[in-house]
Amino acid sequence: MASRAMSAIFMQDSISGSMASDLIAGAETVIQEYFDLATRGRPLPDRHFSANGRHYQVTFHAAADRNGDVSEILLIVMDVTRRAQVEHLLRESRRRLIATARRDHLTGLLNRRGLDSVLHRELRRSRRAGKSLSLIAIDIDWFKDYNDSLGHPQGDACLYSVAQTLIGCLRRAGDEACRYGGEEFVLVLPDADIGGAATVAANCQRAIDELDIAHPGSPFGRVTMSFGIAEAAHGAGEASVALDAVSLLAQADSALYRAKRNGRNRIEFAQGG
């Protein structure tokens, strides 16, 4: 037996006499399972199914004959399409909110919160796989002078152009770029040793030179960048990932400031790299 409303779900005049499996693949197995549960006096959990682009929730109720044996299963179906759509929108909104919270509004790169998440994840992965992980800290040379002489709108335009150029230099899906703060950026390079990171840094340096952004306060006459590279140590345990992240950032930052002390527009490596 089936009500008219149930038949309408499957866009038929009547589904009385149809096999459950003719309507929903695998339904016959589910109904047999529910008969078994009801026979054993177990609760019958709700189920969900989709038909013709809509979503339904099903509740099951067992009916017994005079001898107390389960003879029928009554299915009550509720259209929950709207609820499913709202739940989907809420999940998507939450996902976008989290993604937005981890992105820098000006450049679109990861912000520091996003960097922490990615760096911790990739450190764990590198530990499990026994592979290298390198970090490149990058700073625009004499950027304060650039802002002071040309104004903040021009400075923002410069930051955006530099960010897009750095993204363009990352050729592998796992590589990530972050705006670490102000005019400083960080590149996370999974499965890259110090040599691979040096190649990426050199490509970035060349690409920034090719932008040829005029910088009246720089002795080079154009926007340049300094780079500091560090490679994660192998063999650290899972519990030390947070400390490893702090240490790796500090090493890359130290190499970056050595590059700035040594004349800027250059690449330096962490001590021992």
Burial of 119 (0-12, 13-18, 19+ CB in 10 A): buried
Report how far residue 152's alpha carbon sits from residue 158's, in angstroms, rounded to the nearest whole number.
Answer: 9
- In 10 A of CB 233, how many CB atoms? 13
CA atoms 159, 165, 168, 170: torsion sign:
negative
What is the per-residue pLDDT for 202? 97
Burial of 151 (0-12, 13-18, 19+ CB in 10 A): exposed
Distances (CA, A) of 219 to 164, 222, 224, 263: 24, 8, 10, 10
Task: Give the amino acid at 209.
Answer: D
Report how far residue 21's alpha carbon sits from residue 255's, in angstroms, rounded to the nearest whole number.
Answer: 66
Number of H helices, E strands in the chain: 9, 8
What is the per-residue pLDDT for 237? 54
CA atoms 103, 107, 108, 109: torsion sign:
negative
What is the per-residue pLDDT for 221? 94
Report how far residue 93's alpha carbon sits from residue 87's, in angstroms, rounded to the nearest whole number.
Answer: 10
What is the per-residue pLDDT for 93? 77
Characterize the bridge pairing of strands 267-269 and 225-231. parallel
**Mind listing the pLDDT tens digit of every residue in the chain (273 residues)?**
788 888 888 888 888 888 877 788 878 888 889 899 999 888 999 988 888 888 888 899 998 888 888 888 888 888 888 888 888 888 887 777 666 678 888 998 999 989 999 999 999 998 888 889 999 999 999 999 999 999 999 999 999 999 999 999 998 889 999 999 899 999 999 999 999 999 999 999 999 999 999 999 999 999 999 999 999 876 555 557 778 889 899 999 999 999 999 999 999 999 764
Give the residue carrying structure tokens 């700035």.
Answer: 260
Report how far residue 15's alpha carbon sits from residue 199's, in angstroms, rounded to the nearest whole number.
Answer: 67
What is the per-residue pLDDT for 77? 86
Report how far residue 167's alpha carbon sits from residue 160's, in angstroms, rounded to the nearest whole number.
Answer: 11
Q: At a CB cut-off of 8 Å and minimum separation 6, what does 100 contact?
A: none
Which of 122, 176, 183, 231 is the catalytic position?
A: 183
Whether 28 is catalytic is: no
Distances (CA, A) of 179 to 79, 111, 137: 46, 5, 10
Q: What is the rounded radius of gyration, in angstroms, for the C-alpha atoms of the chain?
A: 30
